[in-house]
Structure 1
Amino acid sequence: MAKLTVAFGVILIAVGVFSFIITGHHAPTSLIPAFVGLLLAIFGALANSEDAKKRMLHMHIAVTIGLLGFLGTAKSIVDYIEMTQGRQFVRPAAVEEKAAMAVLMLIFVLLCVRSFINARRARA
């Protein structure tokens, strides 16, 4: 899971930087996914350890960041669906970016939860 966490971090960094470039470098809030991705990449790298306690701690921190990232952007999925049906938004690129982040964070959290369940079953 540590390598997968780093991969999700890199993808989020790419989403944030790409969005920042697309918006013409004038919307620093478009870098929010990059900051979240940086945190995920850091904790994923820290979780790549032989020490089980450290690995569990860092992965639980990473999944908490992922869950907060999802909860903070979940409404944008509905906004994106409404946008595809014709609703106008002032900043459509922001809606698309937040929706992408929400989907990525949801997938990440679900994969982490599945991994945590499997690890607990393996210990029992």
Structure 2
Amino acid sequence: MPRNTLIAGGVLVVLGVISYVASAFASVTALIPAFLGVVLVICGLIARKKPMLGVHVALVVALLGLVGTFMNVLKIGEVFAGTAERPLAVVVSAITFVLLLIYIALGVRSFVAARRWKKADAISQA
């Protein structure tokens, strides 16, 4: 998971920078995915030394990001209808939402696998 955390963070940083450039540097809020990404990269670096701490904190940050982008995701239909007030923000929020959702799913899968491995190891040692 530390590697997945670093990758997810890096992708979000790139997405944030691209959206900031695409918005003609109009709003710092276009960098929100990059801010989330930087926090995830820091958590990923921490996770290399202390995996449980780094990944748990990263998953909490990802969950907060998921909640924060949800309202714009609901407006994705407006982009296709051509009625969205800020279509770039809606699209970037939707991409961020999907990336964070995938990251959280991988994290949950990793936790379940670790628990199963721990349980199987305990049984084999008994």
Give the TM-score of the pair, scaled to structure 1. Answer: 0.91
Q: How does 1:107-122 map to 2 (within 5 A)?
A: 107-122=102-117
Q: Which runs of 5+ in 1 are unaligned?
A: none
Pick one of 56, 77, 84 that aligns with 2:73. Answer: 77
CA distance in 1, matches of 2:29, 2:79: 20
Number of equivalences: 119
1:76 and 1:102 in contact (8 A); partners too: no
SS class of match (1:26) = coil
CA distance in 1, matches of 2:77, 2:63: 21
Letter in 2 for 1:7: I
Letter in 1 for 2:68: G
CA distance in 1, matches of 2:64, 2:118: 28
Deviations 1:56-104 (CA, angstroms, capped at 9, x unpaired): 01110000001111111123222113422x1511111000111111111
SS class of match (1:24) = coil
CA distance in 2, matches of 1:67, 1:30: 19
1:90 equivalent in structure 2 = 85
SS class of match (1:42) = helix
Letter in 2 for 1:101: T
Deviations 1:18-54 (CA, angstroms, capped at 9, x unpaired): 00000001110000100000000110111012xxxx2
CA distance in 2, matches of 1:106, 1:87: 26
The offset of 1:110, in angstroms, is 0.7
SS class of match (1:48) = helix
Give the TM-score of the pair, scaled to structure 2. Answer: 0.90
- Across the aligned residues of Structure 1 and Structure 2, the Cα RMSD in angstroms comes to 1.1
Pick one of 87, 91, 95 that aligns with 1:100. Answer: 95
The offset of 1:121, in angstroms, is 0.9
Letter in 2 for 1:89: A
CA distance in 2, matches of 1:113, 1:75: 23
Which has the larger Rg? Answer: 2
